[in-house]
Amino acid sequence: MTDEGTRVEASYRKRVMRPLVWIRRDLRLTDNTALIRACEAATDGCVAVFAITPQQWQEHDEAPAKVEFWLENLRALHEALAAKNIPLKIVTTDEYDGLPNVLLDAARSVGADSLWMNREHEVNERRRDAAVTEAFEADDHEVHAFDDHTVLPPLDVRTKQGGPYSVFSPYKRAWIEVAKQSAIDPLGTPATQQEIDVTADAVPGSIKGFDFGTARLDLWPAGEDAAQGKLGAFIGQRIASYEDRRDLPGTNGTSTISPYLAAGVISPRQALHAALGANRNRFANGSKGADTWISELIWREFYQQVLRAFPRVSMHRAFRPDLDERVVWRDDPEGLEAWKEGMTGVPIVDGAMRQLKQTGWMHNRLRMVVAMFLSKNLLIDWREGERHFMRHLIDGDLGANNGGWQWSASVGTDAAPYFRIFNPISQSERFDPDGKFLHRFVPQLEGVTGKDLHDPRRLGDIDRRGRGYPEMIVDPKSSRQRAIDAFKEASN
Question: If 0-12 CB within 10 Å is exposed, 13-18 middle and 19+ buried, where does residue 117 land?
Answer: buried
Going edge to edge, which strands form the sheet with 142-146? 2-3, 142-146, 114-118, 19-23, 47-52, 88-92
Q: What are the pLDDT digits (tens) for 288-298?
A: 999 999 999 99
Contact 232, 117 (CB under 8 A): no
Residue-wise pLDDT for 84-126, tens only, equals 999 999 999 999 999 999 999 999 999 999 999 999 999 999 9
pLDDT at site 416: 86
Query: CA 230, 361, 419 angle in degrees (round to 5)?
Result: 120
CB 127 within 8 A of CB 110: no
Q: How confident is the model at residue 16 (pLDDT cuts 50, 70, 90)?
A: low
Q: Cβ–Cβ contacts within 10 Å for residue 219, how many?
A: 13
β-strands 142-146, 114-118 pairing = parallel
Q: With bands split at pLDDT 50, 70 and 90, how would you rate the model's confidence at 215?
A: confident
Q: How far apart are CA 354 and CA 357, in angstroms?
A: 5
Element (H, E) at 166: none
d(CA 232, CA 299): 21
What gap in Å lies between CA 360 and CA 92, rounded to an integer?
A: 26
Label each residue of 323-370 as H, E or C.
HHCCCCCCCCHHHHHHHHHCCCCCHHHHHHHHHHHHHCCCCHHHHHHH
The answer to whether residues 413 and 406 touch, using CB atoms and an 8 Å cutoff, is yes
What the chain holds in terms of domains, given with CATH numbers, is 2-148 (3.40.50.620), 150-185+224-309 (1.25.40.80), 321-491 (1.10.579.10)
pLDDT of amino acid 15: 60
pLDDT tens per residue across span 232-250: 999 999 999 999 999 999 9
- Averaged over 390-402, what is the pLDDT? 96
Nearest 5°: the CA angle 64, 65, 67 is 60
Rounded to whole angstroms, how far apart are CA atoms 86 and 46? 6
Please report, as a single letter, which amino acid is at residue 71: L
- The overall pTM is greater than 0.75: yes
Q: How far is the C-alpha of 330 from the C-alpha of 483, rounded, in Å? A: 10
Please state the rounded mean pLDDT for residues 402-422: 93
Contacts 24+ apart (CB under 8 A), 289-292: 289/238, 289/239, 289/240, 289/241, 289/242, 289/243, 289/244, 290/239, 290/240, 290/242, 291/243, 292/242, 292/243, 292/246
pLDDT band at 5 (very low <50, low <70, confident <90, very high): very low
Could you give the angle at which helices 64-83 and 224-233 cross, rounded to 10 degrees?
110
Q: What span, in angstroms and rounded, lies between the C-alpha atoms of 431 and 454?
A: 11
Which candidate, 92, 112, 129, 116, places its Cα nearest to that of 44? Answer: 112
Directed axis angle between helix 168-180 and helix 288-309, to 10°? 100
Cβ atoms of 1 and 147 within 8 Å: the answer is no
pLDDT classification of 213: cutoffs 50, 70, 90? confident
Report the run of H or E that residue 88 belongs to, with start and end: strand 88-92
Instruction: Tell me the average pLDDT across 282-289.
Output: 94
382 with 406: CB under 8 angstroms? yes
Calculate mean pLDDT across residues 166-173: 96
Above 90 in pLDDT, residue 10? no
Known catalytic residues are 296, 299, 329, 364, 382, 405
Tens-place pLDDT, residues 59-82: 999 999 999 999 999 999 999 999
- Do the Cβ atoms of 312 and 411 come closer than 8 Å? no
| Rounded average pLDDT over 356-362 | 96
Distances (CA, A) of 401 to 101, 266, 297: 32, 19, 14
Give the mean model confidence (pLDDT) for residues 15-21.
Answer: 85
Judge whether 50 and 90 are in contact, CB under 8 Å: yes
- Residue 401's pLDDT is 97
Q: In percent, how much of the chain has pLDDT > 90? A: 93
Q: What percent of the chain has pLDDT over 70?
A: 97
The chain-wide mean pLDDT, for the chain, equals 94
User: For the chain, percent helix, then strand, then coil, each to nearest 5?
Assistant: 55, 5, 40
What angle is formed at CA 371 by the lines to CA 367 and CA 373, rounded to 5 degrees? Answer: 120
> Under DSSP, is residue 373 helix (H, G, I), strand (E, B) or coil?
helix
One DSSP character per residue, 103-164 reads: HHHHHHHHT--EEEEE---SHHHHHHHHHHHHHHHHTT-EEEEE--SSSS-GGGS--TTS--
Phi, psi of 23 (to 5 degrees): -85, 130
At residue 11, does pLDDT exceed 50?
A: no
3-class secondary structure, 22: strand
